[in-house]
Amino acid sequence: MKSLLCPVCKNELSKNVNAMRCENSHSFDIAKEGYVNLLTGSKSGNLIGDNRDMARSRKNFLDKGYFETAAQAVCLELSSFNPSSVLDICCGEGYYTQLITQVCDAEVYGFDISKEMVRLAAKRKCDATFFVANMSDIPLADSSIDCAVHLFAPFCEKEFLRVIKPGGCLISVCPGADHLWEMKSALYEKPYKNEEICPDIEGFTLTKAFNSTHTANLTSGEDIDALFKMTPYYYHTSPKDKEKLFSLDSLETTIDFYIRIYLKD
């Protein structure tokens, strides 16, 4: 197991009953669900990142398997590297982290800045270590991770470069051009396709970029609502447009993951 690092002094943390402690006596409680909160200062982890409602919607929706085909495509790429350690950056409520534990014989770590997300992830009881942290200050040693996955989340190139080993990989997923096209068409008169970009990341070489696309048949208003709530559109759509979606009780929509694979030089 890799040691997590103390967010205050950067020394290694070790387990001491129900806490993680460093040699300078900085101490972080292990929650009853088994995760540790390594955010310091005023950033409590309750106030930032995705909130309780967003976390629950994401979990409810993903657990129904609507994204599974694309999620398995990510796992297939990951397992081809035969990693011995995997980090799920911005792991959310742990749906992908759990799948990773099922396909890779590796030490698996997942973190997110949202305490509620990490709490739900840890409740999955899968064989992964979960912690609350900010990706701009990942509490792991330099070059300690073989492969990192990063789905639908913001970027922090400097930290990704630091924690991944030379020759290791970063698998980054963003919405493909057609992702949720039919949902967007139901909401908006003039929906836009997502722009697919492969940013250059210093210290990494892009080796592959492809789409994993399938159709999901959402069979209840509840599922449509849960999908909508886990997208940014929920927060930027007028009540009038929202009504158009809420009146539906089924929706066939495209799931399109744009998967980019980078190797660390």
Ligand X SMILES: C[S@@+](CC[C@H](N)C(=O)[O-])C[C@H]1O[C@@H](n2cnc3c(N)ncnc32)[C@H](O)[C@@H]1O
Query: Of these partners, Zn ion, ligand X, none, which one is at the site of residue 113 (CB under 5 to 8 Å by kind)?
Result: ligand X
How far apart are the C-alpha atoms of 214 and 192, rounded to whole Å? 19
Per CB under 5 A, does 8 bind Zn ion?
Answer: yes
Per CB under 6 A, does 135 bind ligand X?
Answer: yes
DSSP-based three-state secondary structure for 92: coil
The number of residues that bind Zn ion (CB under 5 A) is 6
How far apart are the C-alpha atoms of 148 and 93, rounded to whole Å? 17
In the list 20, 87, 148, 151, the residue contacting ligand X (rule: CB under 6 A) is 151
Calculated CA dihedral for residues 154, 41, 17, 117, nearest 10 degrees = -30
Cα distances (angstroms) measured from residue 58 to each of 17, 94, 176, 218, 224? 32, 10, 19, 14, 12
Per CB under 6 A, does 7 bind ligand X?
Answer: no
How far apart are the C-alpha atoms of 106 and 182, rounded to whole Å? 37
Exposure of 180 in the CB half-sphere (CA atoms within 13 A):
22
Per CB under 5 A, does 27 bind Zn ion?
Answer: no
In the list 5, 22, 38, 218, the residue contacting Zn ion (rule: CB under 5 A) is 22
CB 91 within 8 A of CB 116: no
Per CB under 6 A, does 107 bind ligand X?
Answer: no
Per CB under 5 A, does 21 bind Zn ion?
Answer: no
What minimum distance in Å lies between the beta carbon of 164 and Zn ion? 24
In the list 32, 142, 154, 210, the residue contacting ligand X (rule: CB under 6 A) is 154
In the list 153, 163, 187, 201, the residue contacting ligand X (rule: CB under 6 A) is 153
In the list 14, 16, 24, 207, the residue contacting Zn ion (rule: CB under 5 A) is 24
Residues in contact with ligand X by CB under 6 A are 49-50, 58, 90-92, 95-96, 112-114, 117, 134-136, 151-154
